[in-house]
Structure 1
Amino acid sequence: MLNTHEANQEAIETVRDIIKGIDVAMLTTMSSEGLVSRPMSTQEVEFDGDLWFMTKKETSVYQEILQQSNVNVAYVHKSYVSIRGEAEIVEDQAKLKEFWNDSYAKFFGGSYDDPSLVLIKIKAETAEYWETGNKTKMVKSLFKKMTGKGSDDIDLNETVDLK
């Protein structure tokens, strides 16, 4: 049986494997009108429980995180991952330089040393994922459901604690 640290590491590695190579995620924040989701480019850092994004201080996402730090990040490719966590604004020129690439110069219209650029660091708390690549599990579950031998819950997803 896995101890808490081992289970946490295994969960982080599973999420890391699923989101690896997915460039864009949907980041959901809370505005005064309700939930808001927008596509954000994930920084190319190996997932260790933290996710990193870049934005400017003039954006609504920046203001929303200052008001409410609870966020959700969703990734979709061959599988699906929904990560709940707490966001913080990080002003770190060295980290901005580390993440910077030429595409950001065009998108943000400047350089990593722009004082309005900030990082969003999201400390992941839980992740729910659906591994659609597991066709054997999917076929068995669907067969059980169609024949009335299974529950309504197909059980293709799992929720893991990342804290």
Structure 2
Amino acid sequence: MSDQDFKEKVVNIISNHKTGILASVENNKPHSRYMTFYNEDLTLYSPTKKDTEKMDEIENNPYVSVLLGYEEKGQSDAYVEILGTSSINDTEALKNQFWEESFNKWFEGPNDPNYVLLKIQPETVRILNLTGEPPQEFSLKN
């Protein structure tokens, strides 16, 4: 599979699966939780509160793993594993871009100072469970 074909498959999966699992590191052990993800190309963004334990975990260790896909047909669904680094993004433009009215349960609006986006910059991307194909991996590290 060409790099361009690989990228297109990944972007298709992550664009069509907004709910996934984010794993960070807490006390040298994995800590996983479901999150909502948005993407710009291969970069992921996840809305969160600034005052959560995941923010402390990421400040101590920015490496994260994200799983997206594998929702509809179970064992036959392709899914994506993204290993990368995470940082906080609180730019007004991105907060407005990804804001949804459903966030009103947690925030007072897109200008709420506790509303931030977790930015996940991929280093390694894998597609797994492609029908009849072995896992495909792509490295984005320099």
Q: What TM-score bracket applies, with the shorter chain setting the length? A: 0.7 to 0.9
How many residues get paired? 134
Note the residue ranges of structure 2 that are not aligned, 5 or more in a row. 71-76
**2-side partners of 1:75 and 1:95: how far apart?**
21
- Residue 75 of structure 1: aligned partner: 68
Q: Which has the higher strand share?
A: 2
Normalised by the size of structure 2, how large is the TM-score?
Answer: 0.84
CA RMSD of aligned residues (A): 1.8
Note the residue ranges of structure 1 that are not aligned, 5 or more in a row. 138-154
**2-side partners of 1:99 and 1:60: how far apart?**
22
Trace 1:106-121 onto structure 2 (pairs within 5 A): 106=105, 108-121=106-119
**Given that residues 22 and 67 in structure 2 are in contact (C-alpha distance below 8 angstroms), is that contact kept between their aligned partners in structure 1?**
yes
Larger CA Rg, structure 1 vs 2: 1
Counterpart check, 1:159 vs 2:142: no
**2-side partners of 1:124 and 1:33: how far apart?**
21
The Cα of 1:23 is off from its aligned counterpart by: 1.5
Counterpart check, 1:48 vs 2:41: yes
**Given that residues 13 and 69 in structure 2 are in contact (C-alpha distance below 8 angstroms), is that contact kept between their aligned partners in structure 1?**
no
Q: Which has the higher helix share?
A: 1
Structure 1 moving runs of 4+ over 2 Å: 9-12
Identity %: 29
The Cα of 1:117 is off from its aligned counterpart by: 1.2
Counterpart amino acid of residue 91 in structure 1: D
**2-side partners of 1:63 and 1:85: how far apart?**
17
Counterpart amino acid of residue 65 in structure 2: N
